[in-house]
Amino acid sequence: MSTLLSIRNLRICFAGQEKPAVDGVNFALSPGKMHALVGESGSGKSLTALSILRLLPPAAQVKADAIELDGVDVTDWRDEKLRQLRGGRIGMIFQEPLSALNPLHIVEQQVCENILIHQQIDRHKARLRCIALLEKVQLPDPEQIMARYPHQLSGGQRQRVMIAMALANDPALLIADEPTTALDVTVEESILDLLKQLQRDLGLGVLLITHDLGIVGRYAEEVSVMCAGKIVEQGNTAAVLADPQHTYTRHLIDSAPGGTAPTPSNSGTLLRASALSVRFSQRLGWLGKKSHLTAVNNVSLSIRRGQTLGVVGESGSGKSTLAMALLRLIDSRGDISLGDIRLDALRGKQMQPYRARMQIVFQDPWGTLNPRLTIGQIVVEGLEVHRRDLNKTARDARVAAILTEVGLEAEMRHRYPHELSGGQRQRVAIARALILEPELLILDEPTSALDRSVQHQVLELLKALQHRHNLTYIFISHDLRVVRGISHDLIVMRDGCIVENGNTESIFQSPQQPYTQQLIHAAFDETVKY
């Protein structure tokens, strides 16, 4: 069988770093096959892919025995020859379609530019080609899509445009760098299906870079598992997943989210919200018409003490806005009561004493900590507000204790956030919330930005903490597997409304609403598509 792409002994070093970022990578890709590079962040999988087109940052030094495309060594190609390769023989799809598309050009300009650079045809023909391409990526009504700007398209549509651009010059190889990470689950599936179909119809070789073993198992024929710059395991996907040889592969497979929530302790209601609505009003100009965006629409929920309420929905469904409204950080209408206290009746400073009883952990581990403060200063802040009775030594002792409790070293309180990894930062964020001994903890996608194995550890920590302190969680996530593993009750949201709610397991067993069925299908579909 012929080889489309073959990489032998690829090494990438960064100036000033002793350890190479990619260290002796070998792999081969056959035409018409999908090869997945899987690994956690920092494993060198994206660097490997980018090195093929020499798209690495200038500080990177690439050495390879061979990077062969169709048997031709392209390692030393420069400038003009390399440009023919880029977007010609090799197409590339990036993770974030919004930033990969030029916001000032309409779709037609972007796709046609790509065609006109590589092919000697006139504008009219390029336009026809553009329409054909958009049809090929299954965009409805291509003529209309072509006249739109990227911000007028949905995330899935943008990614389809990106794919159309990558396909514009009949490439032999398509490199897809985490093509669906920024997309919702239901969209993710359709994009991957499309890639798979194109691969089969056009006989493309696809190099898929991902961190998600689930996707690999369903779509890729072959897989290379990368860890710390090296390929630790390689081979037929089904074989590798069924019988992983390397401990790292096993570790990756084991950290896939799953399982069900631990049995809850039965007790009374802690938080109740009824007919909660959040509206954002917008006015164009001084005398313009006021328009309203209802982010949360008439949501009612109640959470029992010591239990977890899962909130799932795709981006823009109002999950995070609901969290902010429950914490009374944004204005809302409707009743919110914590125990016997009507929170919505409290104004301004009256809310202050109750803040200690409900806390929040955010998604982005990089944005959640103030980079200019030490970990100790960050964690102690809540005590400075709510526990003025404690002196400095007592506060410091509490900080040390809570850091130990979330699995960090007490000495870490003298460090700065940038010295910590993503998982450690998220633990600090949990410590900051827990130091006030809250009853309710709202977790807004706490693990979405973390690698699978770290995600697993953080979820275990959360479960342990809940058990130890009888904490009540609201767990917001778009990842149904994660939610299933931790929550007792579930709310499915769409466009600000509750689509379905009830006991988690019963919803997963027999979803009533079509939307819930679709979500669950997308998340738990194990069908192999190759």
Partner 1 sequence: MSFRLFTRTPRRPFSNPVTERQWTAFKQNKRGYWSLWLFSFLFLTSLCAEFIANDKPLLARYQGETYFPIFVSYPETTFGGVFETETSYRDPFVAELIEEDGWMLWPLIPYSYNTINYNLTTPAPAPPSSDNWLGTDDQGRDVLARVIYGFRLSVLFGLLLTIASSIVGIIVGAIQGYYGGWIDLAGQRFLEVWSSMPTLFLIIILTSFVAPNFWWLLGIMLLFSWMALVDLVRAEFLRGRNFDYVRAARALGVPAPVIMFRHMLPNAMVATLTFMPFILNGGIVTLTSLDFLGFGLPPGSPSLGELLGQGKANLQAPWLGISAFASLSILLTLLIFIGEAIRDAFDPRKFLS
Q: How far is the CB of 368 from partner 1 (least distance, A)?
A: 4
Q: What minimum distance in Å lies between the beta carbon of 437 and partner 1?
A: 13
Q: What is the closest distance, in whole angstroms, from the C-beta atom of residue 468 to partner 1 in the complex?
A: 22
Closer residue to partner 1 in complex, CB, 436/493: 436
* Closer of 211 and 432 to partner 1 (Cβ): 432
Residues near partner 1 (CB under 8 A) are 324, 327, 329, 351-353, 355-356, 358-360, 362-364, 367-374, 376-378, 380-382, 384-386, 414, 416, 418, 429, 432-433, 436
Rounded-to-integer distance, Cα 359 and Cα 122, Å: 60
Q: Smallest gap, in angstroms, from Cβ of residue 298 to partner 1?
A: 24
What lies within 8 Å, CB to CB, of 424 at 6+ separation is 408, 412
Distance CA 530, CA 528 (A): 6
CB of 424 to partner 1, least distance (A): 16
Please report where in the chains the tokens 């030393």 appear, as a residue.
76
b/e 447-457 (16+ beta carbons within 10 angstroms → b): bbbbbbebbbb
Cβ density class 271-310: b for 16+ within 10 Å, e for less: bebeebebeeeeeeeeeeeeeeeebbbebebebbbbbbbb
Q: How far is the CB of 443 from partner 1 (least distance, A)?
A: 12
Report d(CA 96, CA 38) in Å as an integer: 18
> Smaller CB distance to partner 1: residue 196 or 425?
425
Which is nearer to partner 1, 385 or 401 (by Cβ)? Answer: 385
Q: Report the distance separating Cα 134 and Cα 115, nearest Å.
A: 13
Shortest separation between residue 369's beta carbon and partner 1, angstroms: 6
**Beta strand 358-361 with 308-312: parallel, antiparallel or unpaired?**
unpaired
Angle formed at CA 442 by CA 524 and CA 342, multiple of 5 degrees: 130
Nearest distance, CB of residue 451 and partner 1, angstroms: 19
Residue 378 tokens, joined:
């960050």
Q: Which amino acid is at 439?
A: E
Return the number of the residue (64 or 442) whose C-beta is nearest partner 1: 442
Which uninterrupted H or E stretch holds 288? none
Give residue for tokens 């530019």: 113
Report residue 197 as tokens. Answer: 């179909």
Closer to partner 1 by Cβ: residue 361 or 480:
361
**Closer residue to partner 1 in complex, CB, 4/436:** 436
Closest approach of partner 1 to the CB of residue 264, in Å: 25
- Residue closer to partner 1 (CB basis): 111 or 383: 383
64 CB burial (10 A radius; 0-12, 13-18, 19+): buried
- Smallest distance from partner 1 to CB 308, Å: 19
Q: Is the dihedral of CA 464, 469, 472, 476 positive or negative?
A: negative
Instruction: Please count the other Cβ atoms lying within 10 Å of the Cβ belonging to residue 503.
Output: 12
Q: Which distant-in-sequence residues (6+ apart) come within 8 Å of 9 by Cβ?
A: 24, 25, 26, 64, 65, 66
Q: Tokens representing 268?
A: 């009374």
Q: Please identify, using beta-carbon distances, which residue of 258 and 371 lies nearer to partner 1.
A: 371
Residue 38, beta-bridge partner list: 210, 225
Between 3 and 377, CB nearer to partner 1: 377
- Give the pairing of strands 440-444 and 472-477: parallel
- Minimum CB separation from partner 1 for residue 414, in Å? 5
Which residue, 391 or 510, has its beta carbon nearer to partner 1?
Answer: 391
CB of 367 to partner 1, least distance (A): 4
Whose Cβ is closer to partner 1: residue 203's or residue 367's? 367
Alpha helical stretches, state H, 180-261: 185-202, 213-219, 237-242, 247-254
Phi, psi of 386 (to 5 degrees): -100, -20
